Amino acid sequence: MKIIIAVDGFASTGKSTLARQLAQKMGYTYIDTGAMYRAVTLYFLDNTISLKNKNQIEEALLQIELAFMQQKHTGKQITLLNGLNVEEPIRSFRVSNFVSEVSTLKQVRTFLVKQQQQMGAQKGIVMDGRDIGTVVFPQAELKLFITAQPKVRAERRFYEMKEMGIVTTLQEVEKNLQHRDTIDTTRTISPLKKAADAVVIDNSHLTIDEQLDRAMQLAKQVILSLTNKAHPPH
Ligand code: DC
């Protein structure tokens, strides 16, 4: 039996790491929806699309084709924008500073949510984002909501960016995270919020392995209880 696992939470809580590892362990497909919003943002920036011009946005979206390649050994997802690998530029500050504004747009959300729902139609998927358990798959069999203390989040992002060779300061990272938290939680359409039936995992003091174990246990429990429901033991 395959299920849909929705992983939501604030930026830099380690939810992508968890979702990716969980998918790999379960033999599921992993989808990072943040990368989709980032790729659209990159296209808008590169083509100087005005966020105030609805027609221009509509036309731009028609030109955007998104796809993912899965790296076999790491399970890492490579994002393709119109056939080009954009994994690096979509993580830049240029995109990070603009992506929340772009993701407030109704046209953009409708465009991406539709694609995300198609990707999960066959189940066997772990999808991470902000609105997966509330909007994209409100019927997901398992919903996780990942949190961590703000300081821990900023430090994680800072070291992640450093590793990628992006020059920045901890203060700049903290500022960007706060800015995104505010926009993500207060936007009118699909704001980030915990689904009523989501399980919260605060990973501030958990290792990557510990949080994976916890999530795996929850997934196994859900699958077992659904299997028992479908085929009650005699
Ligand atoms: O997960 P991330 O930090 O890469 O996401 C980038 C931005 O995309 C985030 O600030 C909000 C937006 N986003 C969203 O609105 N809905 C999603 N399902 C995923 C991301």
pLDDT band per the 50, 70, 90 thresholds, residue 38: very high
DSSP for 105-174? -HHHHHHHHHHHHHHTTT--EEEEESSIIIII-TT-SEEEEEE--HHHHHHHHHHHHHHTT----HHHHH
Question: Ligand 1 within 6 A of 109 CB?
Answer: no
Of 31, 46, 21, 200, give the one whose Cα is nearest residue 127.
31
Question: Ligand 1 within 6 A of 134 CB?
Answer: no
Distance in angstroms (rounded) separating the CA atoms of residues 97 and 210? 31
Q: How far is CA 14 from CA 38, 64, 102, 106, 156, in A?
A: 17, 28, 22, 27, 8
User: Relative to the CA of 183, which ligand 1 atom is closest?
Assistant: 10
The preferred substitution site among 13, 33, 44 for testing ligand 1, maximizing ligand atoms within 8 Å of CB, is: 33
| CA 106–ligand 1 middle distance (angstroms) | 14
Helices 93-102 and 170-186, interaxial angle, to 10°?
10
Of residues 90 and 191, more confidence is placed in 90
Boundaries of every domain in the chain: 4-220
pLDDT digits (tens, 9 = 90+) for 101-135: 999 999 999 999 999 999 999 999 999 999 999 99
- Residues paired with 8 in a beta bridge: 129, 145
Structure tokens belonging to residue 62: 């028609």
pLDDT digits (tens, 9 = 90+) for 134-148: 999 999 999 999 999
Q: Look-up: residue for tokens 């929850």?
A: 218
Distance in angstroms (rounded) separating the CA atoms of residues 88 and 80? 11
pTM of the model: 0.91
Average the pLDDT over 202-230 and give the result.
94
Dihedral of the alpha carbons of 187, 116, 121, 202, in degrees to the nearest 10: -60
Domain 4-220: CATH superfamily, name plus number: P-loop containing nucleotide triphosphate hydrolases (3.40.50.300)
Distance in angstroms (rounded) separating the CA atoms of residues 147 and 10? 7
